[in-house]
Structure 1
């Protein structure tokens, strides 16, 4: 619409108008419209409106000052055919290069370099006989049913959480009877912690229910569109088919994201030494958030014993126009929204990427960033290793509506080169030791230390149950596996494991390691004792990889390193 973008966009010697004169267009001329007739449902330029007004003096003609009403006028653009990006325009073209439905403005703005632009009627021929098109209503109905079932499960989950809260509260009160009144404050703190956790989980369930309701309505609307509009013409059928595919893809992504967690739960572990340690503890015990994972059929990420192979490798450029020199990406993580955060060591930048790995935003940090980890929601923590003492440490950043917002910072008495978050605690690597901290920056313990020389503790990853910790020993070419008390369970070396840098573990327990010295990405057995597969090498696009992350949304490994591109490894 005119309120959203200029009324015309130049492409060579042609102009694309947000509204073109209908009579001129029929005669092969490209003229901008300044009037709209609500009865004729046509647009008119200054010359043509004079002729129209002479013939139809009683017709209601709207000028440019009422342009907002043009789009709302009946019959202007059918909702099914309306361009989602430019609502005033109808979808009339298909870009074969990007596999996208387009209006004329889309082509002028976003696809002017594309070579495969086809009219919809040409590609829509025979669509109504297409088996996939005929099955769309059935597939939508099935998705609607699944969202309904998911909503019912989440409602039941709310009830079980309330029962859990009651059970834990009773246990707390039983313990309370054995000690004196000094525990009143501890009881209050524990219950507040529990209620906060339950409220958080209930809020997650509420969001899941709202998503189910929203997608159900969208799917119902699409079924209605099929019944009332889609079969009236091949073009509309094709548009309905394409829009339905996109909708189902998005719905499946959202459903998959929700269904990964079958049930939220909370457990309570009493502190058996509470009477002896009465003045040293702050709560009766630890409320631990638990999620029961749903095993996905035909999803290799849900099978803890699956050994992956590669379907394809793709590179995506993440260099910004003002970046000088080659990028050196040392850290990557994914947000719940599907966006990615990467840190560029050489540029002292943190970059936000969309689902298609395009840079949305960036912010500078006051030193060289070595790692980034996801905390919760849209919050990440970035490890800054250089600069003055007051600038080094862990910087917390929120990604708000595609923009970065710096929130707070933690400082330590030791280096902070890498971080991981699990169970409300921070795991901080410092070249040769791994520490555990609270989210407020209070040191809990030093979990592991190796003073044999060099970079012995680089990055770490924690298993979903919190019982296993994986550490990369860069200079000894090792992957070290620990239990949650810091005891060494395994030590892995391999010819393909030279200078290991990043390590990542999935909720199901798959372990992946990238190695800077050998330019490789490995899958390792979850007990840390054996290499299962080498998934990528230098010839596949790796160059000194620094970190990796597996996206459950796309079943892909995202690998970053000393290169302007990141490598996306599609796994099967």
Structure 2
């Protein structure tokens, strides 16, 4: 049973279900099977699919197929109860009615941290912020994923099957790690539970994996020269884009909140490309401050951040990827071949990692 209450301010009703298989761990569901009448998280739906190959599951993009239709949610009144669902929660969360992807960040301060990992100067190729005290970084030399606390100190780690190249967030406590540069290329899933890293499922790819992004139960993987779309279980949907003119022409990727634009970095030709969902090129961005763009990140509002390694810059682009809105940081701010960038909404900060260094720079922004 769950209690619903309505607020008069601009808020959104979010109904989530626990995974039927791991409810005791508090894992939220991402899929629903009408045949089993059960909900599953990403990890468990893969196991379910292998056991019941003919069962059709519906992800969060098909919530109209879940037991509580959206039209029923709109009719709920104050203090009305929803009966008959064992694993359900209702959240009232304040949201922006319309996000502004062109809202320019203003840097207010900077902090610097040295991450105590055994990597001997190989640097940190990827970072992902789940919350203010759950930061994940990749160690390419020792093939590990590290969990950091709010002071960017190591509190846990897990070994990887190959060299980690990139990390993307799947759910509030789950990530996918792209691994490559080896005979073993693919994706490994991890969750953070009780302050510990928990190994999940994994799948292999027939190409190198240098970048990864997630949107609505699909993964976007870059190989250095191509962009691929995969299902969460590792089935290749299609190759969306390819540029074989050089290596690292399709290096890292990110998807905007509405899912209609995919951004990729072209290190070799110093560009950021904006693609449509069918892989066609919408825009191509270049700038004197954009030399060897590596990591790229899109915030929940659609703000586009990109770090350029050779020019030692962090740029903010407009939501279309057509023009530069600001150069947020440069070499004068301590950037030294930046490799990855992400925005931590919980702390309102932009986090940057570097090549050949375990130094992390954190820029407080508003």
2: CA distance between counterparts of 1:371 and 1:191?
27
Q: Is the 8 A contact 1:259 1:294 kept in 2?
A: no
Alignment match of 2:108 (pick from 311, 322, 337): 311
> 3-state DSSP class of the match of 2:175?
strand
Cα distance change of structure 1 residues 496 and 402 upon mapping to structure 2, 3 Å threshold: same
Shift of 1:303: 3.4
Aligned to 2:56: 189
2: CA distance between counterparts of 1:508 and 1:409?
30
Cα distance change of structure 1 residues 472 and 189 upon mapping to structure 2, 3 Å threshold: same
Matched, 1:540 2:333: yes
> 3-state DSSP class of the match of 1:539?
helix
2: CA distance between counterparts of 1:318 and 1:498?
26
Q: Is the 8 A contact 1:455 1:474 kept in 2?
A: yes
1: CA distance between counterparts of 2:249 and 2:194?
38
> 3-state DSSP class of the match of 1:447?
strand
Aligned to 1:446: 239
Q: Is the 8 A contact 1:513 1:548 kept in 2?
A: yes
Matched, 1:208 2:91: yes
TM-superposition CA deviations, 1:423-444 (whole Å, max 9, x none) = 1101010110000011111111
- Structure 1's unaligned 5+ residue stretches are 1-146, 159-168, 170-186, 210-257, 261-292, 296-301
Shift of 1:196: 7.0
TM-superposition CA deviations, 1:434-455 (whole Å, max 9, x none) = 0001111111111111111121
Aligned to 1:571: 365
Aligned to 2:158: 363
1:157-306 aligned at under 5 Å gives the runs 189=56, 194=63, 206=89, 208=91, 258-260=93-95, 293-294=96-97, 302-306=99-103
Which has the larger share of helix? Answer: 1
1:64-143 aligned at under 5 Å gives the runs none
Alignment match of 1:375 (pick from 170, 183, 199): 170
Greater mean deviation of Cα atoms: 435-444 or 376-385: 376-385
Cα distance change of structure 1 residues 431 and 353 upon mapping to structure 2, 3 Å threshold: same
Matched, 1:455 2:322: no
TM-score, length basis structure 1? 0.50
TM-superposition CA deviations, 1:102-129 (whole Å, max 9, x none) = xxxxxxxxxxxxxxxxxxxxxxxxxxxx
Cα distance change of structure 1 residues 538 and 447 upon mapping to structure 2, 3 Å threshold: same
Matched, 1:506 2:302: no
Which has the larger share of strand? Answer: 2
TM-superposition CA deviations, 1:441-494 (whole Å, max 9, x none) = 111111111111121001111111110111000111000011111111111111
Cα distance change of structure 1 residues 526 and 402 upon mapping to structure 2, 3 Å threshold: same
Cα distance change of structure 1 residues 565 and 190 upon mapping to structure 2, 3 Å threshold: closer
> 3-state DSSP class of the match of 2:89?
helix
TM-superposition CA deviations, 1:544-567 (whole Å, max 9, x none) = 111111111122111111222211
Shift of 1:342: 0.8
Shift of 1:407: 1.6
Alignment match of 2:138 (pick from 343, 346, 360): 343
Which structure ranks higher in relative contact order (CA pairs < 8 Å, sequence separation ≥ 6)? 2
Aligned to 2:318: 525
Cα distance change of structure 1 residues 312 and 451 upon mapping to structure 2, 3 Å threshold: same
Cα distance change of structure 1 residues 324 and 189 upon mapping to structure 2, 3 Å threshold: closer
Q: Is the 8 A contact 2:176 2:187 kept in 1?
A: yes
TM-superposition CA deviations, 1:204-254 (whole Å, max 9, x none) = 982536xxxxxxxxxxxxxxxxxxxxxxxxxxxxxxxxxxxxxxxxxxxxx
Cα distance change of structure 1 residues 512 and 366 upon mapping to structure 2, 3 Å threshold: same
Which has more radius of gyration? Answer: 1
Provide the aligned length of Structure 1 versus Structure 2: 309
2: CA distance between counterparts of 1:539 and 1:203?
55
Q: Is the 8 A contact 1:327 1:347 kept in 2?
A: no
2: CA distance between counterparts of 1:157 and 1:403?
27
Cα distance change of structure 1 residues 198 and 354 upon mapping to structure 2, 3 Å threshold: farther
Matched, 1:397 2:190: yes
- Structure 2's unaligned 5+ residue stretches are 16-33, 35-53, 71-84
> 3-state DSSP class of the match of 1:206?
strand
Q: Is the 8 A contact 1:154 1:205 kept in 2?
A: no
Matched, 1:488 2:281: yes
1:556-567 aligned at under 5 Å gives the runs 556-562=349-355, 563-567=357-361
Aligned to 1:384: 179
